[in-house]
Amino acid sequence: MRIQESSTSGRRLATVALTLVGLSATLVAPASLAAQTYPIWVGKIQVTDENKNDVKGDGTVSFNAETSTLTLKKATLNEAREVKSDFRDASAIYSNLEKLTLDIHQSNSIDLPRFNGNTIAIMHTGSGPLTVTGQGKLNVTTAEATSTNSGLHSHGPIVFDGPELTLKPGEANSLVASGIFSTKDISINSGSLTVTANRAEQTSYGIYASGAVHLRGGSVSAQGFVGNAADTLQSFGIRADNLVTIDDASVTARGTTRAFHDAVTLSKDVPVRVNARTTAQGAQVWNMTDPLGGANSPYLFVQVNSHNALVPPSSSENSSWLTPLLAVIGAIGGLATLIGAIAGIFKAGLIPAQILPQQVRMALGI
């Protein structure tokens, strides 16, 4: 009798165990079948395994999880993901990935309306690089923000390599307005970058890096707010808390405080034009004495023409040095004498030697 009761009890326990296993499988199955999500949003849409090949459902945005690459192809983004932190942040592209590549093809746009809080059109919070590649175009505009207003903001380094990017963030009613900001370095290797920051209660920057800014190639135009100086405390075209280097890039920087917040290093001898005003009109050939950037720089406009052998002088400059040069040439006979006289003019500093190509300066011994 005891053996039979024990057998019956065992069968009951087995039945209960099987029931619990089945219930557990029923509860776990939906979670295991749920689509994997990625910490990146396009507008209000979070990227998942299910939508990564066509995030918006219109064929314009896709995501490669293996390479952490978000591709835009004829995309129009005008919605933002809003994140509540100390302030409310609104971004058309918000990435919490370790690294992100933004691959631009054909013509694309981001246009965000007014938000109460921080407006940051493209936000990357990872410590790894944000790399912008491709051969397309991306135009970024934002309306007024009650706090910070930025076109592109990264907690990691930023690398530009190829596309045509135009950023025009709106006004920042408090704090800072910036076209591009990185807590680390910004490197521009190729492509075309046009950045125009707007009015801000405190400071307006075209490009700002807490590390260094390396302008290695391409074409760069960076402008802080240019308007009534009373509207913004400070305005700079480019700021780098470490250093600014210019290699093979053609660069135009302007701001109502200074064109460059910090000292600038040119890796090679290239034509440079400067102005104590914010306009290209009236710009003169750099005298190679006054610093291009930093607290002692007098320049609100600086243009470095790495892609041109010679910057044509303005009409006002023609009258200051070309006429006497022609007079000297007409008055002196003999080629050797003429060459010596020309070299003497440049050596005396009557004409900035930098307007001549390097090979000519070497030939003249200046």
Question: pLDDT tens, position by position, for the chain (366 residues)?
Answer: 444 444 455 555 444 444 444 444 444 444 445 779 999 999 999 999 999 999 999 999 999 999 999 999 999 999 989 876 555 688 999 999 999 999 999 999 999 988 777 899 999 999 999 999 999 999 999 988 777 889 999 999 999 998 999 999 888 776 788 999 999 999 999 999 999 998 887 889 999 999 999 999 999 999 998 876 555 578 999 999 999 999 999 999 999 999 999 999 999 889 999 999 999 999 999 999 999 999 999 999 999 998 764 344 444 344 444 444 444 544 555 555 666 777 677 666 667 666 665 556 555 666
Give SS3 for 28: helix
Whether residue 128 is contained in a domain is answered as yes
Q: What is the pLDDT of residue 306?
A: 82
Bridge partner list, 130: 100, 158
Whether residue 6 is contained in a domain is answered as yes
Q: Do the beta carbons of residue 121 and residue 109 sit within 8 Å? A: no
- Give the span between the Cα atoms of 180 and 167, in whole angstroms: 8
Q: Same domain for 46 and 105?
A: yes
Angle of helix 323-331 relative to helix 335-347, nearest 10 degrees, comes to 150
Whether residue 319 is contained in a domain is answered as yes
Q: Same domain for 21 and 129?
A: no
Whether residue 346 is contained in a domain is answered as yes
Domain boundary among 285, 304, 323: 304
From the list 167, 274, 152, the residue with the least C-alpha distance to 208 is 152
Q: Same domain for 260 and 357?
A: no
Residues in the chain: 366
Q: Same domain for 6 and 54?
A: no
Whether residue 310 is contained in a domain is answered as no
Whether residue 344 is contained in a domain is answered as yes
Whether residue 309 is contained in a domain is answered as no
Q: What is the pLDDT of residue 116?
A: 77
Q: Do the beta carbons of residue 206 and residue 223 sit within 8 Å? A: yes
Domain boundary among 259, 278, 304: 304
Q: What is the pLDDT of residue 33?
A: 56
From the list 185, 299, 151, the residue with the least C-alpha distance to 236 is 299
Q: Same domain for 134 and 207?
A: yes
Q: Same domain for 168 and 282?
A: yes
DSSP secondary structure letters along 275-342 = ESSSSSTT-EE--SSS-SSSTT---SEEEE-TT-S-PPPPHHHIIIIIHHHHHHHHH--SHHHHHHHH
The single-letter code of the amino acid at 12 is: R
Q: Same domain for 30 and 135?
A: no
Q: What is the pLDDT of residue 261?
A: 96
Contacts of 214 (CB under 8 A, 6+ apart): 185, 186, 187, 188, 245, 247
Residue owning tokens 């004495």: 289
291-305 CB burial, b ≥16 within 10 A, e <16:
ebbeeebebbbbbbe
HEC secondary structure over 185-221: CEEEEEEEEEEECCCECCEEEEEEECCCEEECCCEEE
Q: What's the domain range around 338?
A: 315-364
Q: What is the pLDDT of residue 28?
A: 45
Domain boundary among 252, 277, 304: 304
Q: What is the pLDDT of residue 228?
A: 67
Q: Same domain for 203 and 352?
A: no
Whether residue 59 is contained in a domain is answered as yes
Q: Same domain for 139 and 29?
A: no
Contacts of 140 (CB under 8 A, 6+ apart): 109, 110, 111, 121, 122, 151, 152, 165, 166, 167, 168, 169
Q: Same domain for 282 and 176?
A: yes
What stretches of the chain show up as alpha helix (H) in DSSP? 2-33, 315-317, 323-331, 335-347, 358-364
Q: Same domain for 123 and 198?
A: yes
Q: What is the pLDDT of residue 145?
A: 76
Domain count, the chain: 3
Q: Same domain for 350 and 263?
A: no
From the list 316, 261, 343, the residue with the least C-alpha distance to 294 is 261
